[in-house]
Structure 1
Amino acid sequence: MTTLTYATNVTIDGYIEDESGRFDFFPVDDEVFAAHTDLMRSVGTLLYGRRLYEAMAVWETNAELAAHSTLFADFAAAWRTPRKIVYSRTLTAPATANTRIESDFDPAALQELKATASQDLLIGGPDLAAHAFQAGLVDEVHLYVLPIVIGGGKPGLPPGTRADLELLDEHRFGNGVVRLRYRTRES
């Protein structure tokens, strides 16, 4: 069976965006960016909610991003490759290729996908991840902890969800970001 990983950037006080919904405070760093690209290359399916999908779709719909640098071109190529499943009740058609829209999260369908997929899956966004956590489907959590405190905003880990985790690995990047890689375990 493949692995379903929830990965996110999170401030040291636990937020993925500030109280205004902005996330432009993340420190830009080639080493961290390359690590995200490597993670993206390792998966065959991306699972997103509408908001995250719309933010990430620019890696396919805006050719200027890939032209910005080799790092950006590598990430854009890595993002375009996996198939994407977007959970949304408002989107009627995808803006990107290799993408399908699902109106509702179905734990049984995701379990079947995990059982039949040939490559790992990556789920993004705490709201969608909360459903997968509650269904017991998340196998790993990768937190990229940013050396910044913003004091409030949207939590990076799903509120109201319990998951017992076992630390598998940690990596400190040169800019102070720390990647924590956990495996979920039965409680």
Structure 2
Amino acid sequence: MRKVIYGINLSLDGCCDHTKFGGGKDILEYFTRLMDGVDLIVYGRKTYELMVPYWPDAAKNPNSTKEEREFAQAFDSIQKLVFSRTLTIADDRNTTITHANLGDEIRKLKQQPGGNISIGGVNLPLQLIELGLVDEFHYVIHPVIVGEGRGLLEAAGLKENLSLKLIESKVLESGCIALHYVKN
């Protein structure tokens, strides 16, 4: 069975608004490695529009850093599935837009042969967490307290606690801590 993996950057106080804190080459390297074994990325419209065309353009931009190009090339090469009620056309050659039921579609995809399924953003992953469909969590905690912004799980509607097991932690050069959890 394919695994659904969720990766996101967070501040120490749980803010997931990427505009509130910076990044570094080690963070891009971490997320590039996370893409190994992934053959499908699933987003909602908002996250898709943040990622595309930014990363496909970065893959071709000679001014991009080595780390940006490597992440961008990995990202650009992977198939994407976008759940949206409003989008009808994808801006990316590897993207399919769907209006299907999120839970039903992810359950089907998990049963199909293939690599891991990566999810990103906040709203779509939150729905999948509530449905019990996320298998792994990769949180990169930035050493900053922003004091404002959207919290990752502030709108969670979990019916019971979700118990996780830490299977890896790593301190990155930037001072960020990468945490890898799986469902118990």
Would you say the 8 A contact 2:35–2:74 is kept in 1? yes
**SS of match in other structure, 2:21:** coil
Residue type of the partner of 2:126?
A
TM-score, structure 2 length as denominator? 0.90
Matched residues in 1 for 2:96 and 2:152: separation? Answer: 25
Match of 1:12 in 2: 12
Instruction: Indicate whether 1:138 and 2:134 are aligned.
Output: yes
Q: Which runs of 5+ in 2 are unaligned?
A: none
1:4-153 equivalence runs, <5 A: 4-17=4-17, 23-57=18-52, 58-61=54-57, 65=61, 67-153=63-149
Q: How many residues align?
A: 180
Matched residues in 1 for 2:25 and 2:117: separation? Answer: 24
Of the structure 1 ranges 171-180 and 155-164, higher mean CA displacement relative to structure 2 is found in 155-164
Matched residues in 1 for 2:28 and 2:59: separation? Answer: 18
Matched residues in 2 for 1:99 and 1:155: separation? Answer: 28
Q: Which runs of 5+ in 1 are unaligned?
A: 18-22
Would you say the 8 A contact 2:3–2:116 is kept in 1? yes
Matched residues in 2 for 1:147 and 1:55: separation? Answer: 23
Matched residues in 2 for 1:2 and 1:174: separation? Answer: 31
* Runs of 4+ with >3 A deviation: 61-67
Would you say the 8 A contact 1:163–1:184 is kept in 2? yes
**SS of match in other structure, 1:80:** helix
Instruction: Note the aligned Cα RMSD (angstroms).
Output: 1.7
Would you say the 8 A contact 2:58–2:69 is kept in 1? no
Change over 3 Å in CA distance of 1:61–1:30 after alignment to 2:
closer
Change over 3 Å in CA distance of 1:106–1:77 after alignment to 2:
same
Would you say the 8 A contact 2:16–2:152 is kept in 1? yes
**SS of match in other structure, 1:41:** coil
User: 1:169 Cα shift?
Assistant: 0.8
User: 1:105 Cα shift?
Assistant: 3.8
Of the structure 1 ranges 88-97 and 68-77, higher mean CA displacement relative to structure 2 is found in 68-77
Matched residues in 1 for 2:44 and 2:20: separation? Answer: 22
Match of 1:20 in 2: none
**SS of match in other structure, 2:88:** coil
Change over 3 Å in CA distance of 1:112–1:158 after alignment to 2:
farther
Would you say the 8 A contact 1:59–1:66 is kept in 2? no
User: 1:103 Cα shift?
Assistant: 2.2
